[in-house]
Amino acid sequence: MARRILAALAAACALVVAGCASTPPQAPPFPTAAAEAPTAAPSETPSDDPAPACADTDAEQALADALPQMPPPFPPDDENMSDVQWDTEHADLEGYDPCAELSWITISIVGGTGSSPSQVALFHAGEFVQAATEKSYGFWPQVTRLAPDSLEVVYFWPKPGEGNAERSGESPMRFTWDDESGSVLVEGDPPNYL
């Protein structure tokens, strides 16, 4: 009994030390309690709602595939801004999930500032579906997951008389994946400025 307690204590210490190491942890040189006792595989339960198939692309590749289909940062008729590009190096990839019913990537422009155009790319099962809005809007939006198939995007904008730093105006929009139509349902209106 004491030998088993000492083995478990040594294994726990090894795990703590391995968690602090900068190299990948190696298996302990002795069997642990977890290695000695086989565990039963969890039983599968049928689901009424099948999960979407997962894409085999990571967030960087999904964004690269989506960019040619997204609206430009500025209107195409703005010749002074026609060379402005989306900044893939600083895109927020955290919202992308290749298995989610609806996920997102937020992106702004190369060399942008706080009020530069941003866009939210929407994905279903890792495949690009659409940009959240037809136009790109200034200020980085706030994206919140509401459910596995639903997101809220809050766009910020300066009210009349406010500077860019104040930008107290908010335009919330809700995006929900609809399996029946195979598209994203949109509720709410985008900001009424560019």
Q: What is the residue-level pLDDT of the chain in tens, covering all 194 positions?
A: 444 443 444 444 443 334 444 433 333 333 333 333 344 444 444 445 555 589 899 999 999 999 999 999 998 888 889 889 999 999 999 999 999 999 999 999 999 998 999 999 999 999 999 999 999 999 999 999 999 999 999 999 999 999 888 899 999 999 999 999 999 999 999 998 75
The tokens of 189 are what? 């209106």
| Sequence-ordered list of residues with C-beta below 8 angstroms from that of 180, at least 6 positions apart, any chain | none
Quote the CA–CA distance of 74 and 83 in Å, as a whole number.
Answer: 9
Q: Order of strands, edge to edge, in the sheet holding 183-187?
A: 142-147, 150-157, 169-178, 183-187
Q: Is the distance from CB of 114 to CB of 140 less than 8 angstroms? A: yes
The pLDDT value recorded for residue 18 is 42
Which CA distances in Å does 98 have to 19, 33, 101, 157?
Answer: 28, 35, 9, 31
Q: Which of 95, 91, 94, 97 is nearest to 73 (CA)?
A: 91
The pLDDT value recorded for residue 21 is 41
Sign for the pseudo-dihedral over CA of 186, 187, 189, 194? negative
**DSSP annotation of 86:** B
The pLDDT value recorded for residue 108 is 97
Q: Which of 117, 128, 99 is nearest to 155 (CA)?
A: 117
The pLDDT value recorded for residue 36 is 38
The tokens of 52 are what? 């979407």
Quote the CA–CA distance of 140 and 120 in Å, as a whole number.
Answer: 9
Strands (E), 21-160: 103-108, 117-124, 127-131, 137-138, 142-147, 150-157
The tokens of 101 are what? 């019913």
Quote the CA–CA distance of 111 and 119 in Å, as a whole number.
Answer: 15
pTM comes to: 0.72
The pLDDT value recorded for residue 50 is 59
